[in-house]
Structure 1
Amino acid sequence: MDVSVLIDEVIAREGGYGNHPADRGGPTHFGITQAVARANGFLGDMRALPRSVAVAIYRRLYWEKPGFAFVAEIAPSVAEELFDTAVNMGPGTASGFLQRALNALNRNEADYPDLKVDQSVGGKTMAALGAFLKLRGRSGEKVLLKAIEALQGERYLALAESRPANEAFLYGWLANRIG
């Protein structure tokens, strides 16, 4: 799996500069919010954010740091979904979805121990993922992906229900972020 392709797809989907009045993220460019850009050293006008800076932020914060590159080695489609979810909801949320899904699929710990949902992909999460895939194979990867997407969809609905302004984004989230 080449993360550069995933990053290109996200940038194409997110588009250029935007500052939607209902978006709490404020000004964005290539899907990078102003707050994230500032936290990563970019201090200029968001309209001028270089694509290369956005690419570096995506690679570092949403792929390497949360450990999704390791997930990609054994479950590429799951890693792809985790990356996209991280971009939209944060790496911790994406990692937590993986942990919750693995816990729910371990048959009451018959297959591997429950994970603490600490929103971090570490050794225990990778061991659980490996055990799950060893038992369930490629069909298990597809089921795990469905479970993660179900959690993501529920989160989008909850966001729209809790803040009516988010309804402006719900259709696009469901159409472009799930499945």
Structure 2
Amino acid sequence: MDIAAMIDEVIAREGGYSNHPADRGGPTNFGITQGVARENGYGGDMRALPRSVAEMIYRRLYWEKPGFAFVAELAPAVAEELFDTAVNMGATVAGGFLQRALNALNRNERDYADVKVDRAVGARTLAALGAFLAVRGPAGEKVLLKALEALQGERYLALAESRPANEAFLYGWLANRIG
């Protein structure tokens, strides 16, 4: 799936304008919070956020800037998962999940060296991903996806446990973001 299709899917899932009282992000439209919209130059009412602005934000902040477009060249399904996680949890969280999973799957550095979990997907993380895939083949991408989803699911549960208001979102997170 290409980035335009992924953005369309996210926007369809996120829906239009929302201002849920339990959502710390405040007013959102197309899944873009008011704070993110403001940081990216949109100063208008969130109800009127143009879809094109939301698409630009998704592409730049959650695909290009964190380097997931480069991940897509090696492992398209992993890149798609990282994009979705970034949209919901932040790009650095998604990058950290990838690094943690790669480190845990390298058989105590027999397959490739650990990468620093700095939450930034750069050349070393991409090299580790390439080495992992070279050793594990196509089945490895499926296993890596499971590891990423396990980390994401655990974080959702922790968010609900640490802030009871997040329980309003837990079912939807698990239903729409995992698996």
Q: 1:158 and 2:158 equivalent?
A: yes
Tell me the SS of whatever aligns to 2:173: helix
CA drift at 1:33: 0.1
Which residue does the alignment assign to 2:33?
33
TM-fit CA distance, 1:83: 0.1
Tell me what 1:130 maps to: 130
Offset at residue 170 of structure 1 (A): 0.1
Where structure 1 has 5 or more consecutive residues not aligned to the other structure, the ranges are none
CA distance in 2, matches of 1:2, 1:13: 17
Distance 2:33 2:2 in 1: 24
Alpha-carbon shift at residue 127 of structure 1 (Å)? 0.3
Aligned residues: 179
For residues 53 and 166 of structure 2, the distance between their equivalents in structure 1, rounded to whole angstroms, comes to: 28
Q: Which amino acid aligns with 2:43?
A: L
| Equivalent residue, structure 2, for 1:48 | 48
1:12 aligns with 2:49: no
Q: 1:119: Cα distance to partner?
A: 0.4
Partner Cα separation in structure 2 for residue 64 and residue 102 of structure 1? 21
**1:36 and 1:142 mapped to 2: Cα distance?**
32
Are 2:89 and 1:79 equivalent residues in the alignment?
A: no
- In the TM superposition, what whole-angstrom CA distance separates every residue of 1:72-112 from its partner, at most 9, and x where no partner exists? 01100000000000000000000000000000000000011
TM-score (norm 2): 0.99
Cα deviation, residue 2, structure 1? 1.2
Indicate the percent of aligned positions where both proteins have the same amino acid.
83
Work out the CA distance in 1 between the residues paired with 2:115 and 2:169.
Answer: 32
- Structure 2 unaligned regions, length at least 5: none
- Could you tell me how far apart the structure 2 residues matched to 1:151 and 1:175 are? 15
SS at match of 1:20: coil
Match of residue 144 from structure 2: 144
Matched residue SS, 1:144: helix
Could you tell me which residue of structure 1 aligns to residue 110 of structure 2?
Answer: 110
One-letter amino acid matched to 1:15: G
Matched, 1:68 2:31: no
**Structure 1 residue ranges (4+ consecutive) displaced by more than 3 angstroms after TM superposition:** none
- Aligned alpha-carbon RMSD (Å): 0.4
